[in-house]
Amino acid sequence: MKHLLKMLDLSTEEIIDILNLADQLKYELKHGIPHPHLKGKTLGMIFQKASTRTRVSFETGMYQLGGYPLFLSSNDLQIGRGEPVQDTARVLSRYLSGIMIRTFEQKEVEDLAEYGNIPIINGLTDFSHPCQVLADLMTIREFKGSFDGLKMCFIGDGNNMANSLIVGCLKVGMAVSIACPDDYQPPKEILDFASQYDCFSMTNSPMEAAKGADVLITDVWASMGQEGEAEKRKAAFAGYQINDELMAAANEGAMVLHCLPAHREEEITSKVFEEHANEIFEEAENRLHAQKAVMVKLMAD
């Protein structure tokens, strides 16, 4: 594994290795055991979109690993004024040990990896959010003990989260169902991948998708960059909500996850959100541990 660009690139074994290391790093952090695997290394963090969790967890994680994180807002970089990503990649490769980037197009992340010669980590694109899904898988395994026999159900937009969850959950052996409006299905590349699995299903009925689910996950109806479509999307996604009725269709003891930020009473009710807050905020914490594991795998000597 040279980069973390999207879940489609990872093998099942690589995913499990990252999760095992993440569990170990979480244990070490909780027990005050130092783990300076990235002493002397630097991570550039390019943000073309807002972030709370990704920024703070990468920055803190790098510090805990003995390295140094640099926050690089695209407003201040020449990339924000049109310098090509191919040139940015070749310059930054000469200063840094690795780059985390949050941007719009997946191609930009793939180009950074192609033109640079240091590890590239996707901190969210319109297509993919692999760091979040590694943390989600870590959280599911932590609460449920294993992935065996579990079904994950995603309700809502066929977006970066849906794409990455479908691939990640299928790769670790979970069954997957997704409920999305017909006009908001995941891209063909993801559906082609999922169609290899008998345990994948897609419907436009949230109730049908939630039946027998052990983990229910949703995400905002309008992602970053889609603010202008918010009203249109509100109408299209009405009913695509995790609420008491949906929870009643799921298996007893089903978990609820949300990558955050959440829009209460849109994709999830406040009641369900608060009843599952322990899982949702453990999931947020696990971003730190999962990303530290990714950085160690990619950047340690």
Beta pairing, strands 151-155 & 120-122: unpaired
Q: Is the backbone of residue 149 left (phi > 0), alpha (psi -120 to 50) or beta?
A: left
Examine the residue annotation and report whether 132 is marked as an active-site residue of this protein.
yes
Minimum distance from CB of 265 to ligand NVA (Å)? 18
Residue nearest to ligand NVA (CB): 223
Site for ligand CP in 65-124 (CB under 6 A): 124
269 binds ligand NVA (CB under 6 A): no
Select 98 or 158, whichever has its Cβ closest to ligand NVA.
Answer: 158
- Per-position x/- string for 90-129, each x denoting binding to ligand NVA as judged by CB under 6 A, each - no binding: ----------------------------------x-----
Are 129 and 161 a contacting pair, CB within 8 Å?
A: yes
Helix, coil or strand: residue 69: strand
One residue of 42, 132, 159, 163 binding ligand CP per CB under 6 A: 132
Select 47 or 200, whichever has its Cβ closest to ligand CP.
Answer: 47
What is the DSSP code string of 123-160? Answer: S--SS--HHHHHHHHHHHHHHHS--TT-EEEEES--SH
Place of tokens 């994180």: 69
Minimum distance from CB of 148 to ligand NVA (Å)? 28
161 binds ligand NVA (CB under 6 A): yes
Phi and psi (nearest 5°) for 203?
Answer: -145, 170
Q: Which residues sit at the interface with ligand CP, rule CB under 6 A? A: 51-54, 124, 132, 259-260
